[in-house]
Chains A and B, each alone.
Chain A
Amino acid sequence: MEPLARRTLLRSGLLAAATAVAGPALLTGCGSGGDSSAPTGAGPRRGGTLRAAFTGAGAGETLNHFVGGTALDMVRARALHATLGDLDPSAPDGVRYGVLETIEVDEELSAYTLRLRRGLTFSDGSPLTARDVLWSLSSPADDPASLPVYRNPASTFDFGGARVEDDHTLVLPTRAPLADGRMVLCQGNYLVLKENSDFSPGTATSGPFRLEEFAPGEGCLLTRNEAFSHPEADEAPYLDGLELRSLPDSDARAAALTGGQVDLAHDLSPVTARTLRGDERFTVTSTDPPYVSGLFFRMNLAHEPFRDPRVRTAFKLAADREAMVESVFFGDATVGNDLLGPGFPDYADEIEQRPFDPDRARRLLREAGAEGMRVTLTTGPETPGMVEVATLYVENLVAVGVEATLEELPAGQLFADYPAYARLPLAASFSVPTPALPLYQMSYGARNPAALGWDRPDVDELVATARGTSGEESARAGLAAQRTLWEEGNTIAPVFKPFTTAHVPGVAGVADDLFEQFPGFSRATLS
């Protein structure tokens, strides 16, 4: 009952009380290694320019993060533009607000009122208003080049019917009753730009830093934005400057760190991270759920054997998840339970962990007449560990009597031909940290091509109910939907891997920015 009560409380805005009941697991997302949280005692140290390396794009890189999907795009955007808010299970509303003071929801769950903090300005001194917030949320939907993540709010909120009541109040009607709208708006990636921003280097910014120098494909130099007002730390940002570097290769990022050319290297491969953990000159931190990426495989229901639920269950039971965590990630990863979004408040962590049971898998395959079935698992090095986990999984399948083979595509090709990808019998993929139920609606429900044949209007309805109601009803529907997915779904999600960052010991306060998969520096210090 505890987790159910927790989710109920979350939605009624009483999570602080719930965390004490539900235990520490819920709070793991709040920090990732004490070394990178803010120093205590004498107060944060001011000054210094922190240098950090991320995966970036090439010479075509722009300052428009709506169209740029690299880690550097996101980190730079969060340094330049203030966030609406971040997910924070320990906060009263389940989110920690940025430029917002509160988000109020009406009784029918059909309108969200966003109230802005007073006195906020852009770096050019102009006031930050509700019109800027509305433009920042709605404009990506009008640009076909925008990334799906930025177009998603338009499928949840009716921006055409939005009302700017005054400079500090924005009312957003929903397209359908919605209980988790705060979680949708405050995921850390919705940022406030000045209305009609052209993303040129001279554009006024609302975030902790402003742009000093931008070299597309190489990096950027940012300086402290004196006009920035941090909601919790009056003196922040503490750094004088921030130098963000683009290094697409994980080994090059690690080399820049060990060679003293940067102070922080983001998203390291498991092997590199393990090497650096043994070097006392550096601190290695890994994110905890919910800031983790799921490595999963999806069975295509258009292929005959996978239409039998016994075969799907057998494929799930065949996965030796602990071995994957140990041998690919040297223990620095989380075992998955075939559901996405662990760590988020709407994730059904009350569902029992699926065991590794090759004997039962073999028996189920025999019963289904699928013993010795042939299947090819297609994967690619789209994120560190993806190919290695797929390799182990193929071995697991062979061990239960499946004639499984692995096809590894070159980097960048797995999703390049999406119609072809959607026809694969068994396809690898990965998820980014997103709450479980919105993620279902975005990429799995309503016959989405990414679902590879999953078509269950009853589950779609349960998810819609969970998101469109509050309290017990919402929690029950969310749990029922995920229970069905767990039992009958076509996803095998054996491992959730962290985003691993290494830095010199003098770096602190990065984890305090939340949204840990893409480090923020509004409260970072350097000594």
Chain B
Amino acid sequence: MSWSLFLLRRLAALVPTLAALSVLVFGATELLPGDAVGAVAGPDATEAERAAVRERLGLDDDPVTRYLRWAGGAVRGDLGTAYTGGRAVHELIASRLPHSLLLAGLALAVTVPLSIALGLWAGSRAGRRADRAVSTGVLLVAGLPEFVTATALWWLLAGELGLLPRVSLVPLGGSPLDTPEILVLPALTLAATGVAVGTRLVRSASAEAVASPWIEAARLRGVGGARLAVRHVLPGALAPATQAFGLITGALVGGAIVVETVYGYPGIGLELQQAVAHRDIPLVQGIALVLCAATLATVLLADLAARALDPRRGSLR
């Protein structure tokens, strides 16, 4: 299959997937208790005030009409207006998403090389003591809730050793990069889970590659150690691992709610948490939709990278 056909097929699949996700996002916010009237008019509002708010927000329309109106706006880039402050939702997302992307990028910069190194090392020794140690270790880390990992890192690096700031306060009017030290703890916390998941996936792909005839042939030719791992095992494991990293990246961008809340880092995760707490439904819907789109985009990029590494992937079967 040609690259253009491959890309077209993937993009064609994205549209209905995103549409289905938008229905899920809209439906989920519809299922939240109460409606927007309570959030906008306040608990003390009279029936007349509630009716006025209901009419102003168009909440008297049926859910299908409201979904079509919202989705139509989203297609045009208009995600509505946030209840809190009355600013455009896309502006609010644009002010927070770069912070989370930066954090996810840093976490990924730690996750990818560490996962590959550990996964390759363990996969090349599948079934042996080293493999069992690595596999058990990453399984433990993967099983830890993020707030536990965050608390442990916080206690050690900020509390006991005093090396890092305890809270990620971005300089007012500045960027997180102005004080890079505030990024370390949240990035490490995110990376811990990413490394655990990534290592398991790379280890699995590596173990599969190690058992293949071409690795056996290489061994018979006298190739071993690091050379065998890097030159022969890694290329075979890299394509599936790349797709796994795509999924991890999506999770890093969207899954930073706990980490950003614990460290007070003003990213999209903290914004989503606050939007839910304040029942700012347009903002919740907008952020959820953008995160879905971001995840799909990273998965697509990972698919493209995997195909570049292994052209057999994505061929017509």
Instruction: Tell me whether B172 and A220 are in contact (CB under 8 A).
Output: yes
Q: Which of A177-185, A187-195, A416-424, A452-460 contacts B (4 or more CB under 8 A)?
A: A416-424
Q: Which of B244-252, B266-274, B304-312 contacts A (4 or more CB under 8 A)?
A: B266-274
A contact patch SS:
loop
Instruction: Tell me whether A58 and B271 are in contact (CB under 8 A).
Output: yes
Contacts of B121 in A (CB 8 A): none
A521 to B169, CA, bound (A): 22
Instruction: Tell me whether B264 and A442 are in contact (CB under 8 A).
Output: no
Instruction: Tell me whether A59 and B38 are in contact (CB under 8 A).
Output: no
Instruction: Tell me whether B33 and A255 are in contact (CB under 8 A).
Output: no
B231 at the A/B interface (Cβ < 8 Å)?
no
Contacts of B270 in A (CB 8 A): 58, 248
Closest Cβ neighbor of B261 among chain A residues:
A249
A243 at the A/B interface (Cβ < 8 Å)?
yes
A244-262 vs B, Cβ < 8 Å mask (1 yes, 0 no): 0101110110011011010
A220 to B274, CA, bound (A): 18
A415 at the A/B interface (Cβ < 8 Å)?
yes
Instruction: Tell me whether B166 and A416 are in contact (CB under 8 A).
Output: no
Contacts A57-B85, A58-B271 given; does A417 touch B34 at CB 8 Å: yes
A59 to B158, CA, bound (A): 27
- Could you say which of A215, A243, A255, A442 contacts B166, with CB atoms under 8 Å apart? A255
Contacts of B35 in A (CB 8 A): 417
Contacts of B154 in A (CB 8 A): 255
Instruction: Tell me whether A144 and B49 are in contact (CB under 8 A).
Output: yes
Contacts A256-B166, A411-B277, A417-B35 given; does A60 touch B84 at CB 8 Å: yes
Closest Cβ neighbor of A146 among chain B residues:
B42
Closest Cβ neighbor of B166 among chain A residues:
A259
Contacts of A420 in B (CB 8 A): 33-34
A64 to B86, CA, bound (A): 11
- Could you say which of A64, A145, A218, A411 contacts B266, with CB atoms under 8 Å apart? A218
B101 at the A/B interface (Cβ < 8 Å)?
no
A248 to B272, CA, bound (A): 12
Q: Which of B134-142, B195-203, B278-286 contacts A (4 or more CB under 8 A)?
A: B278-286
* Chain A count of residues within 8 A CB distance of the other chain: 47
A145 to B40, CA, bound (A): 7
A75 at the A/B interface (Cβ < 8 Å)?
no
Instruction: Tell me whether B264 and A213 are in contact (CB under 8 A).
Output: no
Contacts A220-B172, A256-B166 given; does A415 touch B43 at CB 8 Å: yes
Instruction: Tell me whether A62 and B85 are in contact (CB under 8 A).
Output: yes
A199 to B170, CA, bound (A): 24
A35-78 vs B, Cβ < 8 Å mask (1 yes, 0 no): 00000000000000000000001111110100110000000000
Closest Cβ neighbor of B173 among chain A residues:
A213
Instruction: Tell me whether A258 and B42 are in contact (CB under 8 A).
Output: no
- Could you say which of B32, B45, B264 contacts A252, with CB atoms under 8 Å apart? B264
Contacts of A215 in B (CB 8 A): 170, 172-173
A218-235 interface with B by 8 A CB criterion: 218-221
Instruction: Tell me whether B279 and A412 are in contact (CB under 8 A).
Output: yes
B85-101 vs A, Cβ < 8 Å mask (1 yes, 0 no): 11100001001100000
Contacts A59-B271, A148-B44, A412-B279 given; does A217 touch B158 at CB 8 Å: no
Closest Cβ neighbor of A245 among chain B residues:
B169
Contacts A259-B167, A261-B166 given; does A252 touch B44 at CB 8 Å: no
- Could you say which of A58, A62, A219, A418 contacts B38, with CB atoms under 8 Å apart? A418
A353 at the A/B interface (Cβ < 8 Å)?
no
Most central of A59, A221, A409 by chain B CB within 10 Å: A59
- 4 tightest Cβ-Cβ pairs between the two chains A and B: A417-B34, A259-B166, A60-B85, A416-B34
What are 7 of the A-B contact pairs (CB < 8 Å)? A57-B85, A62-B85, A221-B172, A248-B264, A415-B43, A417-B38, A420-B34
Q: Can you add 18 more A-B contacts, CB < 8 Å, to A148-B45, A259-B167? A: A58-B271, A59-B92, A59-B266, A60-B86, A144-B52, A217-B274, A218-B170, A220-B172, A221-B173, A248-B264, A248-B270, A251-B262, A252-B261, A409-B33, A413-B34, A416-B34, A416-B279, A420-B34
